[in-house]
């Protein structure tokens, strides 16, 4: 569509990029139909097309963000369902990233909002702080209904309700086991931030599974939060600092012992690590290195698909596969996780409306609790309708969100795969008293 930027405005590479993105949009409106917030709220302003228009006006006029625009950009989940739908290839992800950074730089939020966002940015990316905060949240949980009654404090109520009732068992960080030579690959696994606190069992299962298939795992020093959490809050400098730190850690390993892949088990992080090359494109010191890192980033299911895992006998356990938005829309990984689960003997069921977000979306369920709750209810209803024995997902955010709504146990895809290929039964299944207690029968390797 038509745009109106001055030459001076276009001298800013971020504006120039956004202008190119806007030019692709033909305002056809297809994106509205698959946008979770438009489907829920029925207002053009809460649709991708409406937001694109709001962003266009804001950037063209070079003005500070205003309350109306901020409200509707804040309601965007960044689920990227619109990007999957868009026939003309509008790169909405980078457009809304730009808008969020612009908002952060030009708009002064109300005090409560500022405090909550600062709190999230100061705690979530740091495992030790997050662990301590969860302890406090467990104590504060009874107060959640009180906070919920004050609109400005609703995010605190949401945080308290999301905190797991039980503390996650700290997984024994087993040293990578020696692998029989010749090894099939050498990889790093992103240890990340929130997932390592909420469910350390995910990466433990990943390590066991990869080690069993002769993949060498290394743990580069200095690696940590990928930066996605602050990136989606528009805190660009902090996000880039996290990205640079991880790039440094991985490049050291790439240039040292060499890496075949950087494995990510939380798809929200995966989308961001795969975007490091773009995020750091304007940094002459990091642009190349970041692009190399992004090129090696793989979701765990992508990497497992390259290993030709043996096909196992069918087992009587049905899995509702929840396709995390960051996997299906952000990384366009749709069939692979299901193929792996099927090959491992599970019966896979697709919940209806699989393209719609569960409402987790990073810190969205804390910052937008009302819309998030509606999306969760819709998601859980569709998942429950599958009557599956277990829900599998590839992202810790979705797992936490869905688990607070359904009685069906929710596990990570890799935990089921680890179990099927000889690992322990996922703890959440062990306690659920469900069928299929038999050990999986490993068929001959193919």
Partner 1 sequence: MAEAIQFLVPRDNVLARRLSIISDLADLLPPECLVHEARGLAPFETDAFIAYRRVPLAVALPRTTVQVAAVLKYCHRYDIPVVPRGAGTSLSGGAIPQEDAVVLCLSKMTRIIEIDYANRTATVQAGVTNLSISDAVGTDGFFYAPDPSSQLACTIGGNIGMNSGGAHCLKYGVTTNNLLGVKLVLIDGTVVELGGKHLDAAGYDLLGLVCGSEGQLGVVTEATVRLIAKPEGARPVLFGFDTCDEAGACVADIIAAGIIPVAIEFMDKPAIEICEAFAKAGYPLDVAALLIVEVEGSEAEMDAMLASIVEIAGRHGVRKVRECQSATEAALIWKGRKSAFGATGRIADYICMDGTVPLGKLSYVLGRTAQIVEGFGLRVANVFHAGDGNMHPLILFNANDPVEAAKAEAAGNEILKLCVEAGGCLTGEHGVGIEKRDLMRYQYSDIDLAQQMDVRGAFDEKWLLNPSKVFPLDGRIRAAC
Which of 371/420 has CB closer to partner 1?
Answer: 371
Which of 46/216 has CB closer to partner 1?
Answer: 46
Altogether, the residues listed in the chain come to a count of 446
What DSSP letter does each residue of 333-382 carry, written as one string? Answer: --SHHHHHHHHTTPEEE--TTTTS--S-TTTHHHHSHHHHHHHHHHHHHH
Cα–chain-centroid distance for residue 229?
Answer: 9
What DSSP letter does each residue of 16-79 carry, written as one string? Answer: HHHHHHHHH-----HHHHH-HHHHHH--GGGSHHHHHHHHHHHHHTT----HHHHHHHHT----
Which of 63/434 has CB closer to partner 1?
Answer: 63
Helix or strand run (H / E) with residue 172: none
Helix or strand run (H / E) with residue 215: strand 215-218
Q: Does 368 bind partner 1 (CB under 8 A)?
A: no
Which of 6, 11, 16, 88 binds partner 1 (CB under 8 A)? It is 88
Residues forming a β-bridge with 347: 318
Which of 85/206 has CB closer to partner 1?
Answer: 85
Applying CB under 8 A, which part among 80-88, 148-156, 162-170, 382-390 lies near partner 1? 80-88
Which of 34/413 has CB closer to partner 1?
Answer: 34
Which of 2/181 has CB closer to partner 1?
Answer: 2
Rounded least distance, CB 42 to partner 1, Å: 4
Q: Does 26 bind partner 1 (CB under 8 A)?
A: yes
Distance (Å, rounded) from C-alpha 133 to C-alpha 163? Answer: 9
Q: Which of 237, 193, 1, 277 is nearest to 100 (CA)?
A: 237
Kindly determine how many residues on this chain lie close enough to bind partner 1 according to the rule CB under 8 A.
37
| β-bridge pairing 410-412 and 215-218 | unpaired
Q: Does 57 bind partner 1 (CB under 8 A)?
A: yes
Instruction: Kindly list the strands in the beta sheet with 390-393, ordered across the sheet, starting from the edge strand earlier in the chain.
Output: 347-349, 318-322, 390-393, 410-412
Residues forming a β-bridge with 361: none
Q: Does 29 bind partner 1 (CB under 8 A)?
A: yes
Which of 14, 20, 41, 119 binds partner 1 (CB under 8 A)? It is 41
Q: Does 241 bind partner 1 (CB under 8 A)?
A: no
Applying CB under 8 A, which part among 67-75, 176-184, 187-195, 206-214 lies near partner 1? 67-75
Which of 11, 16, 33, 132 binds partner 1 (CB under 8 A)? It is 33
Which of 6, 13, 42, 132 binds partner 1 (CB under 8 A)? It is 42
Q: Which of 306, 299, 158 is nearest to 226 (CA)?
A: 299
Q: Does 392 bind partner 1 (CB under 8 A)?
A: no
Rounded least distance, CB 371 to partner 1, Å: 12
Rounded least distance, CB 33 to partner 1, Å: 4
Q: Does 2 bind partner 1 (CB under 8 A)?
A: yes
Burial 13-31, CB ≥16 within 10 A → b, else e: eebebbbebbeebeeeeeb
Residue ranges in contact with partner 1 by CB under 8 A:
1-3, 23-34, 38-39, 41-45, 49-50, 53-54, 57, 66, 68-69, 72, 85-90
């Amino acid at each position: 569509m038509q745009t109106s930027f001055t030459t001076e405005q276009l001298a800013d590479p971020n504006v120039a990029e956004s202008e190119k993105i806007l030019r692709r949009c033909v305002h056809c409106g297809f994106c509205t139909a698959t946008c979770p917030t438009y489907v829920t709220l029925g207002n053009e302003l809460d649709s991708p097309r409406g937001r694109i228009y709001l962003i266009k006006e804001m950037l063209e006029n070079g003005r500070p963000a205003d309350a109306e625009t901020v409200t509707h950009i804040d309601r965007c989940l960044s689920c990227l369902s619109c990007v999957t739908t868009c026939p003309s290839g509008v790169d909405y992800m980078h457009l809304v990233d730009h808008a969020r950074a612009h908002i952060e730089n030009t708009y002064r939020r109300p005090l409560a909002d500022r405090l909550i966002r600062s709190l999230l940015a100061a705690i979530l990316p740091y495992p030790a702080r997050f662990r301590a905060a969860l302890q406090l949240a467990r104590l504060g949980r009874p107060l959640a209904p009180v906070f919920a009654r004050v609109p400005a404090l609703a995010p605190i109520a949401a945080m308290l309700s999301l905190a797991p009732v039980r503390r996650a068992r700290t997984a024994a960080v087993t040293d990578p086991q020696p692998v029989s030579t010749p090894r099939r690959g050498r990889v790093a696994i992103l240890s990340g931030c929130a997932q390592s606190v909420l469910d350390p069992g995910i990466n433990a299962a990943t390590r066991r599974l990869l080690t069993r298939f002769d993949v060498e795992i290394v743990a580069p020093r200095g690696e940590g939060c990928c930066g996605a959490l602050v990136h989606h809050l528009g805190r660009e400098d902090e996000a880039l600092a996290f990205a640079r730190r991880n790039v440094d850690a991985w490049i050291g390993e790439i240039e040292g012992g060499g890496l075949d892949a950087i494995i990510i088990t939380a798809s929200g992080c995966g989308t961001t690590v795969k975007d490091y090359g773009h995020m750091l494109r304007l940094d002459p010191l990091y642009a190349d290195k970041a692009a190399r890192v992004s090129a090696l980033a793989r979701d765990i299911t992508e990497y497992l698909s390259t290993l030709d895992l043996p096909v196992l006998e069918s087992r009587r356990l049905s899995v509702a596969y929840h396709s995390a938005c960051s996997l299906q829309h952000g990384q366009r990984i749709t069939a692979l996780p299901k193929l792996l689960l099927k090959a491992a003997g599970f019966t896979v069921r697709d919940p209806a409306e699989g393209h719609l977000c569960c409402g987790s979306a990073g810190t969205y369920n804390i910052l937008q609790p009302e819309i998030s709750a509606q999306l969760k209810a819709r998601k859980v209803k569709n998942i429950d309708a599958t009557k599956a024995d277990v829900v599998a997902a590839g992202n810790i955010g979705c797992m936490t969100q869905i688990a607070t709504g359904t009685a069906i146990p929710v596990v990570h895809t890799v935990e089921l795969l680890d179990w099927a290929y000889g690992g322990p039964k996922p703890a959440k299944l062990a306690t659920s008293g469900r069928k299929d207690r038999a050990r999986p029968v490993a068929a001959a390797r193919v």
